[in-house]
Structure 1
Amino acid sequence: MKHYKLNLLTLALAAAGFSASGFAAQETTADTAKKLTPTEARAKAKAEAAVEIIEIKGFRRSVVESINTKRFSTNVVESISAEDIGKLPDSSIAESISRLPGLASQRLDGRASRVSIRGFGENESATTFNGREQVSIGDNRGVEFDLYPSEIMSGVTVYKTPNATLEAEGIAGVIDMQTVKPLSRERTIQFNGQYEMTSLDKLNPDGKDAGARGTFSYIDKFANDTIGVAFAYSKMSSPNQEKRWNAWGYPDFSVDGKNYSVLGGAKPFVRSSVLDRDSALLVVEAAPNDKLKMTFDALYVDFSDEKILRGIEIPFAWGYNRGSSALAVDPATGFVTKAKVSNEYLVVRNDLENRDAKMNAFGFNADYNLNDDWTLNFDASHSSVEREIWSFESYAGTGRGDKLGVGDNLSYEFRPGNSGAVFTPSLNYGDYNLIKLGGPRSWGWSTALNQKFGVVGNDLYENTAQDGFINAPTVDDEMSAFKLAATQMLEDAGMFTKMHYGASFKTREKDKKSEGYFMTLKDFPAMVTVPEKYRMGTVNLDFIGMGNMIAYDSGAMLNDGYYVLTAESLTNQSHSFKTWTVNEDVLSLYTQADLEAEVGGIPVTGSVGVRYVKTEQDSQGTAFGSVNGLIVASPTDIDHSFNHVLPSLNLIFDVAENQSVRFGAAKTMSRPRLDEMNSSVGATYSQQVDSNGNNWSISGGNPLLEPKEALGIDLSYENYFSDEGYFSVAYFWKDLNEWIFDGKYQVDLAGVADPSTGKVPATSRATGSGKVNGGGGTLQGAEFSVTLPLNIVTEVLDGFGVIASYTAVEQDIKDPLGKDFELPGLSKEIISATAFYERNGFQARVSARKRGDFKGDVYGIGFDTQQVDIEGETIVDAQIGFDFGEAGFKDLDGLSIFLQGQNLTDEPFVSTQGSALKIRDYQEYGSTYLLGFSYKL
């Protein structure tokens, strides 16, 4: 059986949406002489699609390229494509990705950041950059996409089904971000610029409500088109505003046999922040002859998110019970909707937070055509990220501790719409003579803090020396990878047309250090009036009824020596829990066969393969205890290894012209979160053995965790009824095993000293409490997606189009004890729709993305990850633009302008605690507007 072989360069150009008319003519002549095999037919369709793309420009062209990527991929994929570098449909990669069928994003500080696929959280998918797995700036593996500038990406492909050649693992899928390939582009010099503003006026006097971003890109070819270079530099300063209601929690109590829930306390505030990001991309391609092609790419990102937060902490039921009483109760739920308290001490907060990260990624790839049948590939890469967080809290109030100030008589009432409560105070928190620097609550419960300031026993100032706090965690994540692969073209091998072989090795080290510092005024125990030079007027807190509040430059006061610092890690074991190193070495071997055949007269193409993955992991941390109130620790070093065999099958049945049925089956895995598999534990050694026969008992991370596993099946029907349109219906099912829950495990602590004695015991086995593998269940769902160009209805509507998708997901997951478990990130419904018009240079589109309620991760105290219930939301964006060249203005050819609005309906971010009435967060961001231009030479 003779198999048709496309020239590799032609294939690459066709996949990118570029080709030449001569190529199509050559195929047409050959087609008349023989019947096409399935591979030939698909190649012909791909080439013809490429020719059509040349005649389409702008957003419609990117839509067609995305359709072709989906249509001609062996895997089940979704994609977005940019017409030119720096021209993805949205200002954020996460926003663009979240419009794809089955995908949804979670906002972090008002920006789309974390992406879930088909009901799975971000930790169950992998993210790659030009096919290489990426490090992350968080404690876990999930990538925060606002780190990556959309301005320098050419496209994103989401693999919903795997194959053996993919260099990343994820039960949900793999998200691959791609850069431009300069040898497939013409010479381009391009400038993009945007002015950005928020609909909310700056909420802090020293905040910003306007910013800008700009991108310069250059693409060219040299040496008779054998060397290609692409360079892009992007700079962004993006403001963001927020009004946030935040609750401490809602304790339950019982009166006369009736159960009630009341507000435990609140921490509402306003935030003004600026995200500054500088990024540079370099891609160099070299094809000195027909046999060799080499590509080098480098990405650098300098990311800084600076926040100014001002608000008031309001103790209520978790205060000191000074006359608090309920004024109104919801009779159906027992939820106290209105209450008052007398003589309560509030904490005025002037906080700052800086989140800085620097990322470097380098990659080298070489393809060598050994002969007509064999192609060799080598790939090497290195990526690293360093993240530092500096979160600074400054406290002020009417007096120190709980006894020396002026108490407030205030009440609250919950507003309708789950938007939090409004307070009615009796004090003026904008009065600099009343509100002074110092801790108005006895929160400094630290032995070291009391000893340092000589307040012990029944001292009036015991536990009152905390006048502020600094959280300062750091994360370093580093990964190196190498791959050697070969592709063999087969002749006369029955249904198999091509073989892929490969071996890869990657090593990763993630290191987290956690520390915090108590801040105490150098003039302790005196309260300090804010000096004039640090005063910044007041902040308006009318959105919670608190009126004006003093605003001052707390960071400058720290720098000028107003505070003394004491390390929290001396007495607080949480920092030992959150300080660790995790190492992973992963060896992978794979083989895959591409196939084509006929079954009952239906052409079938696809691939079958298997991937073997061997993992060796180890973690360094501490086993710690407490002696006389101070933390003592002993180092730990625990290793573990395991292996997995991951088979995969992808088949495409061409049931009719431009219609196909896809079937995929694969075993997949998702590695455990790095912060859950560390070896830092609280440890206690006892002379008495426990029920497991162990003397040690520990709690914390579990370095013996292994990946979650799933067997998945995908079935879909796709109909490509137009060059610009298609619709598809898909069903997916996954059987989940070895999920991760809370439980018990056993581990060897050989060589670890008893923290209380400093001596290594004779017995080393320990019973651990923490995360363990076990339990599972099934997840299934259906997807419906369509891209509909309205010119198929009538030519009068040429340029109009609709893109829409609907995904429904359901699960049946049990923990090891048989209790129901809800997957993080799972929304039962995900809907996305975009209506667009593009013709004669004018472009307009409006998009909406909707997801149902889900469990999501947010940052908690100390920047550890906390899971909360997040209410569903609908985000509406719109954009209009004008391309002067396409409109016939030849003197302005290459110039285009646009206006974009994001979150036009001011959709809030809402999270709850246990019930819809118990609002944890109600975050209002307003809308964001961008006015921009692009000029291409």
Structure 2
Amino acid sequence: MSIKNRRQPTLNKSLTAKAVAAIICGYASFGAFAADQAQTASDDIETIEVRGIAASKKQDINNKRFSTGVMDSITAEDIGKLPDVTITDTLQRIPGVQIRRSAGEGSTINVRGMPQVTSLLNGEQFLSAGSITQLQPDFTDIPAALLSGIDVLKSPQADTLAGGISGTLDLKTRRPFDLDQGSTLSLTGEATRGSLSKQTDPKFVAFAGYNNDIFGIIVTAAYDESTLANYRNGTILNSSEVRGETRIDLTTDRDFNGDGDFNDSFYSQRFYGVMDRETERDRLGLNTTIQYQIADSLTFTGDLFYTKMDDADRKQGVMVDSARGDIWAYSDNFIPRLDNGKGGQIYTVNDTNLKVRRVSAYSESLTNDRESTNASFLFEYQGDGPLSGEFKYIHGSAERSHTENVAHGFLTSGAQHGLLKNHGDGITPVNPNGYGPDEVDVSFSRSGEYLTLGFDEGFGNDINQYNLVSTYSENNFEEEATLDVARIDGHYAFETDHLQKVDFGLRASKRDVERETYILVAPFTTGDITADVMWKDSGASLGDTNGDGENSVAGGDLTIGKTNFFSDMPAGWVNQVNGLGPGGSGHSFYLIDPKVMDDPMAFQNAIYPGNKRLANPSRTYQVKEQTQTAYFKANFAGELGDLSYTANIGAQYIKTELDMLQNQLGSARPCSLCTASEKIGEKWLSRDYSDFLPSMNFNLNLTEEVILRAGYGKTMTTLDIGKLAGGISVGRTRAGDVLAAELGVSPDLLVAVQGRQNGNPDLEPWRATNYNLSAEWYFNDSGLLSISAFLMDMESFIQSGIVMQGLPDIDGVVRREVPVSTEINGKGGNIKGIEVVYQQAFDFLPAPFDGLGTSVNFTYAPSDSANVDVYGESLPIQDNSEKSANAVLWYEKGPLQLRLAANYRSDRLDSLSSPMGEGVMPFWTDSTLYFDMYAGYEFAEDMSIYTSVSNLTEEKEDIYAQWSDHVITQNIFERRITFGIRTRF
């Protein structure tokens, strides 16, 4: 570690500097505001050039100690080296931060239980292609090597861009003027291998910088490839889809508990499976920064931040369908759970023998191509007088293309549940070579470490039994966005006993977002009927093709689609998979390789030619958002008796204007067997709202080592644009005599009776009032013990609900208001809790133990909501863990560095399912404990080798329904081992 003391120079005004000062003072209406400038007690600023674990921890403490509010910080341990593999893995080490994972990698975060967190890049808004409609990026897009550090701001301040309810992340890149004079080069190469994927993935990072104190430039490039095993057992669909398939069956022909009656109920999920799931990602990140000292008092900084990621999430496995409730009733181990309200009990089962009507070979490919560019230009003026300021302009653009493609094969014939086909040559099961006509015996167990399915010996070994019965591509979309920000900040210094400086600024921004959602349809003809079809299903009929007035395959109607036996598929399309991952059946199955499905149009055309894109207007929209912001903050420092203090008080005013395209949808569909709706019109809706956000932070130095902090502020978060716009589908029915008389129309007129709105333009932002109180003891330059208490009092949040709205009848006339289901603002709640932090380097111990150090934190954050579980017990806010903790033990001595880290989250509410008992069925994610480790050795002055292991114990996520032993889904992640070499010269 090296430490540089830099004294801010006394600067002379130049003509250019005076001109910039005039702009700041005279054209304030053009601008905006900057992130907080750290205040110090003197003109001396200590800058720590971080090299190693101990120096990084020391810098983190230094950042926290001299902050003007409640914040935590993480600093890169060297160029291109944050402490963990991903940004979110690093962030989870901060107290109060909880992460959500995608394919085992951290993707998004909560701060103190809330996902309403805004993320900034060098103090300002930016666009991420993984989350175009929100202000929190998908961190899987962003290579960690591009960043020099991250600040998590937990108490609001007037000059910090509003947008986070619980906190704000500020991602920081390196600045050339922070480098040593001359050239700095760094190269990193890594190879990572997964314990389950068995793939070796490369990563390369190159850094080049130059600084001569007048001109500086940095170029950073990072590229990596990842193949991530992400197995899924149990309910193979997403939790939101599981809800619709979750039910209680009241049987009348089974006596579950042997008491002689038939009034008991059985709770189960319909679809269970074992799935090989693999996510493949290619990431590229580029960052270029230029700094130029234009004059003594004027500095220019230009930034270009570029990210690109292509990923494919591929799934293949076997799924069983328990479509009939009593199929699950073959067990001697039923577990009573609660009364069913019908005089009996609701039962579940953990081990059972199933009689299954359908066994499917399921393959799916989801792809995402993401790209974003953020450019900024910053002019900083610092004269020898009291006035200073900045002008910054930002332009961002991002685009994302998403596809979904599904192939649904059968091993069973279809006769078990009456799925038949008729191509004009007679009625047969849809898969005539499949297993049947009897049901399939399948054992199921959730009692062990993994959910398991067991089949009879030899089942699935014959490729001739497999037939592709259904294939489709839906939920595809293309979206793009642009962002423009202009801002001006001013600072005026005072020489008084208390008032030190006033910060003020104006900001204007414009963000445009556009999404087009589409499906793929192909032309089908049966009899005299022709239609575009999305669900190309061998067992479906377009309509009455036998002229008897009935729609029935059994009655002779012709079915669409064709027989597509796996044995007839092109070479390379079908692969034989053994075992299906941890907890798999051990059987061998034939499955369509999801890789051949990455291009949905090519795959669908190969099966059913003539596919075309068909827009889905219910999920297609445009939104234009403009904001104007003004802020004022007064900064104080001085003495209160024998104690010194720093404080700030201020306010931020934000006006938001929205223009939203709302599509109107008819009752008809533009295709058969599809999810798209008929668009009958559109309209632009405009609205605006304003927020006044006061804030206050007060820091009292009780001693030279002990700081007491208090913070207060109102917060708001920018709405997710995807929840604002979309389409309104209108449900209509014949008016009838009574309603016709009331409305003055014909009884045969189709009138609007209900609607579904994808996107509610009347939503209000999340708003809250935050309170913070903390005590921090800095017992040496590398030691910290602190305790913090916080309260977030939320005025409202967003939930599903019903609104009354005027919708047009079939003739286009709006005659009355009808109920429309959409998302609405619900009543607020609160989260309150405490955070405890302990950090210390044990350099006082005798050698060799003087290289040890530790960092430990614990957060307790209980929450309440209006929802209750099946027993009437209050449920917390979704995705909030009541308890979370991190512990890091590190060692740094000479050329050796070691680190072992643990991250714990208690159970968290995943989602809400169907009504049951006194409330709703909650789905919980069980507690998790992840371990990571790192070991590095510097065998030359500027060259080191290292290895790291993420998810050391192969921790998985278990999702259970109400009862912890009733696991319904498992996400199984792998251990990943990295070997790398880093040079710097």
Deviates more, 1:384-393 or 1:146-155: 384-393
Q: Note the C-alpha offset of 1:305.
A: 1.2
Calculate the TM-score normalised by the size of structure 1: 0.84
From 888, 902, 907, the equivalent of 1:853 is 907
2:876 equivalent among 822, 827, 832 = 822
Match of 1:221 in 2: 211
> Is structure 2 residue 828 aligned with structure 1 residue 787?
no
CA contact (8 A) 1:265 1:319 kept: no
Match of 1:253 among 249, 255, 271: 249
Distance 1:703 1:778, change over 3 A: same
C-alpha deviations, 1:541-586, integer Å up to 9, x for none?
A: 353316111144466487374222688997xx9x443222222111
Amino acid at match of 1:647: P
In structure 2, the CA distance between the partners of 1:435 and 1:477, relative to structure 1 (3 Å rule), is same
> Does the 8 A contact of 1:637 with 1:679 survive in 2?
no
1:685-725 alpha-carbon deviations (Å, 9 max, x no partner): 68759999997743222101111211111111111111111
**Are 2:181 and 1:129 equivalent residues in the alignment?**
no
Aligned length: 839
Q: Alpha-carbon deviation of 1:470?
A: 4.7
Q: Partner residue of 1:610?
A: 651
Are the equivalent residues in 2 in contact too, given 1:696–1:764 (CA < 8 A)? Answer: no
Match of 1:530 among 547, 568, 571: 568
For residues 831-870 of structure 1, the aligned pairs below 5 Å read 831-856=885-910, 869-870=924-925
Of the candidates 193, 199, 205, which is equivalent to residue 197 of structure 1?
Answer: 193
Determine if the alignment matches structure 1 residue 352 to structure 2 residue 365. Answer: yes
Q: 793, 796, 805: which is aligned to 1:738?
A: 796
CA contact (8 A) 1:127 1:174 kept: yes
Q: What letter corresponds to residue 154 of structure 2 in structure 1? A: K
SS in 1 for 2:858: strand
Look up the match of 2:769: 711
Query: How many angstroms apart in 2 are the aligned matches of 1:746 and 1:567?
Result: 39
Pairwise CA RMSD: 3.3
Q: Does 1:107 align with 2:107?
A: no
Aligned to 1:728: 786
Which residue pairs with 1:12 in the alignment? none
Instruction: Kindly indicate whether residue 331 of structure 2 is the aligned counterpart of residue 308 of structure 1.
Output: no
Compared with structure 1, are the counterparts of its residues 905 and 819 closer, same or farther at alpha carbon in structure 2 (3 Å cutoff)? closer
Change in Cα spacing, 1:769 to 1:21, as seen in structure 2 (3 Å) is closer
Whether 2:694 is the aligned partner of 1:647: answer yes
Q: What is the CA-CA distance between 1:141 and the residue it aligns to?
A: 4.2
Equivalent positions of 1:34-433 (< 5 A) are 43=40, 47=44, 50=47, 53=48, 57-121=51-115, 124-136=116-128, 137-138=130-131, 140-186=134-180, 187-202=183-198, 209-222=199-212, 225-247=213-235, 248=242, 249-255=245-251, 256-316=262-322, 318=323, 325-333=329-337, 334-342=347-355, 344-398=357-411, 399=413, 401=419, 403-405=429-431, 406-407=435-436, 409-417=440-448, 419-425=450-456, 428-433=459-464
1:877 alignment partner in structure 2:
932
Superimposed CA distance per residue, residues 501-522 of structure 1 (whole angstroms, 9 cap, x where no aligned partner): 1110111122222223336499
Mark the CA change 1:320 to 1:849 in structure 2 (over 3 Å): closer, same or farther.
Answer: closer
Equivalent AA in structure 2 for residue 731 of structure 1:
A
| Cα pair distance change 1:300/1:42, threshold 3 Å | closer
Q: How many angstroms apart in 2 are the aligned matches of 1:536 and 1:519?
A: 21
Shift of 1:46: 9.5
CA distance in 1, matches of 2:743, 2:44: 66
Are positions 1:483 and 2:473 aligned together? Answer: no
How far 1:832 sits from its partner (Å)? Answer: 0.3
- Aligned residue in 1 for 2:32: none
Q: CA deviation at 1:143?
A: 1.8
CA gap 1:709/1:307 in 2 versus in 1, 3 angstroms: closer
C-alpha deviation, 1:110, in angstroms: 1.1
Is the Cα–Cα contact under 8 Å of residues 670 and 678 in structure 2 kept in the other structure? no
What does residue 673 of structure 1 align with?
720
Aligned to 1:896: 944
Indicate yes or no: 2:77 matched with 1:20.
Answer: no
Give the equivalent residue in structure 2 for 1:499: 502
Give the C-alpha shift of residue 468 in structure 1.
Answer: 4.0
Q: Separation in 1 of the partners of 2:452 and 2:667?
A: 41
Q: Which amino acid aligns with 1:632?
A: E
Match of 2:519 in 1: 516
Change (3 A) 1:298 1:868: farther
Identify if the C-alpha distance between structure 1 residues 61 and 280 changes in structure 2 by more than 3 Å, giving closer, same or farther: same
Residue 708 of structure 2 aligns to which amino acid in structure 1?
A: V
Deviation of 1:431 after TM superposition, in Å, equals: 2.0
Letter in 2 for 1:177: L
CA distance in 1, matches of 2:796, 2:585: 49
Q: 1:703 to 1:170 in 2, by over 3 A?
A: same
Change (3 A) 1:636 1:540: farther
Instruction: Give the whole-Å Cα distance in 1 for the aligned partners of 2:777 and 2:355.
Output: 68
Where 1:63 maps in the other structure, the secondary structure is: helix
Instruction: Trace 1:750-761 onto structure 2 (pairs within 5 A).
Output: 754=809, 756-757=810-811, 759=812, 761=813
2-structure distance, mates of 1:415, 1:868? 16
Q: Please give the alpha-carbon distance, in whole angstroms, between the structure 2 residues aligned to 1:896 and 1:690.
A: 85
| Whole-Å separation in 1 of the counterparts to 2:911 and 2:783 | 37
**Runs (5+) with no aligned partner, structure 2:** 10-37, 236-241, 252-261, 338-346, 421-428, 521-533, 539-559, 672-676, 745-750, 913-920
1:564 aligned residue = 608
**Contact 2:96–2:111 (CA under 8 A) maintained in structure 1:** yes
**Higher alpha-carbon deviation: 226-235 or 580-589:** 580-589
Give distance in 1, aligned partners of 2:462 and 2:162: 57
CA distance in 1, matches of 2:537, 2:802: 44
Deviations 1:480-534 (A, max 9, x none): 1111111111134x52110111110111122222223336499942233334622
Distance in 2, matches of 1:829 and 1:417, equals 26
2:678 to 629, 632, 637: 632
**How many Å separate the matches in 1 of 2:818 and 2:79?**
55
In structure 1, the gaps of 5 or more residues are: 1-15, 25-40, 203-208, 440-465, 859-865, 885-891
Q: Evaluate the alpha carbon distance shift between residue 527 and residue 924 of structure 1 in structure 2; reply closer, same or farther with a 3 A threshold.
A: same
1:583 aligns with: 624
Deviation of the 1:82 alpha carbon: 1.2
Contact residue 410 and residue 426 of structure 1 kept, 8 A = no
Distance in 2 (alpha carbons) for counterparts of 1:220 and 1:174: 31
Structure 2 Cα separation of the partners of residues 779 and 536 of structure 1 = 51
Indicate conservation of the 8 Å contact 1:689/1:695, yes or no.
no
1:545 equivalent in alignment to 2:597: no
Residues 18-45 of structure 1, C-alpha deviations (whole Å, 9 max, x = no match): 5238999xxxxxxxxxxxxxxxx98468
Work out whether residues 162 and 717 of structure 2, in 8 Å CA contact, stay in contact via their aligned partners in 1. no
**Aligned in 2, Cα 1:565/1:651: closer, same or farther, shift over 3 Å?**
farther
Partners of 1:829 and 1:690 lie apart in 2 by 61
Cα distance change, pair 337–83 in 1 and its aligned pair in 2 (3 A): closer
Is the 2:622–2:660 Cα contact (8 Å) retained in structure 1? yes
Q: Encode CA deviations 1:276-330: one digit per residue, 9 max, x unaligned.
A: 10111100111122210111111111101123321122101x2597x66422333
In the aligned structure 1, how far is the partner of 2:900 from the partner of 2:708?
31
Alignment match of 2:854 (pick from 776, 779, 802)? 802
Greater mean deviation of Cα atoms: 193-202 or 624-633: 624-633
Do 2:197 and 2:228's aligned partners in 1 also have CA atoms closer than 8 Å?
no
